[in-house]
Structure 1
């Protein structure tokens, strides 16, 4: 299982949110590049990054931060937030980003996902964020009546190979991941499933690994010290 240490960006600075609420934004480090290098030193090979400004403004905002991390560290960058057009995907694909996450557009503009997978293949991942099992969009500010597994199956049919699933009620809470929903999703589709939200300690990592998940995103747990990144990476080798 791959461990994805996470850096979310607002105004160029690394922050964490509680349950996706922007009013709870807490700066967790001074510099994204320096933080990312620390992840390299701990043995990480990937990093999960989110343009939170982009997710709200529906366009690329903090792109230089992500490009710098991709090109100035050895990390492979998985990136979401504000990626709404083929031009956005093309920009990141040509500037060193290893995986581009399509979020709200997966529900609102599935044709873009279809086109993106056709052109960029495995570079494309889909982020499915849900509350009580129903998909939320636009930086989690809008709900829907679409069940998360139904959307995942639709994405699988389009050729999407990687899905990042976030239970919003768990995100940033250090309350443990939603193992039940993640397991159901992993059994429902053939896509690689990455767990996002709630990961707290090494026991959570072991539980997710035992369920056969592809990856786990770890944010607040690293910054708050409840999870040792080096240990997590070692356990998952």
Structure 2
């Protein structure tokens, strides 16, 4: 299982939110490159980055930051936030981004996801499924829907999506532990037909062990690293272990 340390960017700063609420924004690190390098030094192979400004505005905002990390570190960069068209996806991949996350557009414009998978391949595209009480939320988590997260996942699998980032918004940034029941439900419903990345709520190494026990492809860690409740190097070693 891969561990993806996370950097969320707002106004050019490394921040974290509490349950996706933009009014709770808190700066967690002084410098994005310094932070990315520290992840690299801990043994991380991937980094998960979110353009919070982009998610809110529906267009890329902090592009230079992601390009910098892709060019100046050995990390494979996974980016989401504000990706609404094929041109943006193409531009991100051309600058060395390894995987692009489609979030809101997966619900509102599934044809974009289908076209992206066909054009760039399933290894380059992930769908972010963010939910509250099992129902998908969009537009930087500012809008709700009446679509169940598993129903959306199955629809995406049918059009060729392999990677899913599954976030329980009520857990995100809370350090209250991952939603194991939701992740287990997703894993069982998709029967190994996709690669699931857990997101939201990671607190201690026990969360990493629990996600690994479910056979997940990856786990994203953000606030737990910044707050010191999770040792990234230890998490990576457990993820790699047999």
Task: Give the TM-score category using the shorter length.
Answer: over 0.9
Partner of 2:41: 41
Separation (CA, whole Å) in 2 of partners of 1:160 and 1:33? 30
Matched, 1:202 2:224: no
Partner of 1:123: 124
What displacement does 1:30 show? 1.1
Partner of 1:186: 187
Separation (CA, whole Å) in 2 of partners of 1:129 and 1:34? 29
Separation (CA, whole Å) in 2 of partners of 1:113 and 1:236? 29
Matched, 1:211 2:206: no
5+ residue gaps, structure 2, are none
Instruction: State the superposition RMSD in angstroms.
Output: 0.5
Give TM-score scaled by structure 2 length.
Answer: 0.97
5+ residue gaps, structure 1, are none
Separation (CA, whole Å) in 2 of partners of 1:163 and 1:32? 25
Where in structure 2 are the equivalents of 1:40-59 lying within 5 Å? 40-59=40-59
Partner of 2:223: 220
Partner of 2:137: 136
Where in structure 2 are the equivalents of 1:1-237 lying within 5 Å? 1-121=1-121, 122-189=123-190, 190-237=193-240
- Give 4+ residue runs of structure 1 displaced > 2 Å after superposition: none
Give TM-score scaled by structure 1 length.
Answer: 0.99
What displacement does 1:115 show? 0.4
Separation (CA, whole Å) in 2 of partners of 1:127 and 1:193? 10
Separation (CA, whole Å) in 1 of partners of 2:46 and 2:222? 13
Separation (CA, whole Å) in 2 of partners of 1:187 and 1:79? 27
Q: How many residues align?
A: 237
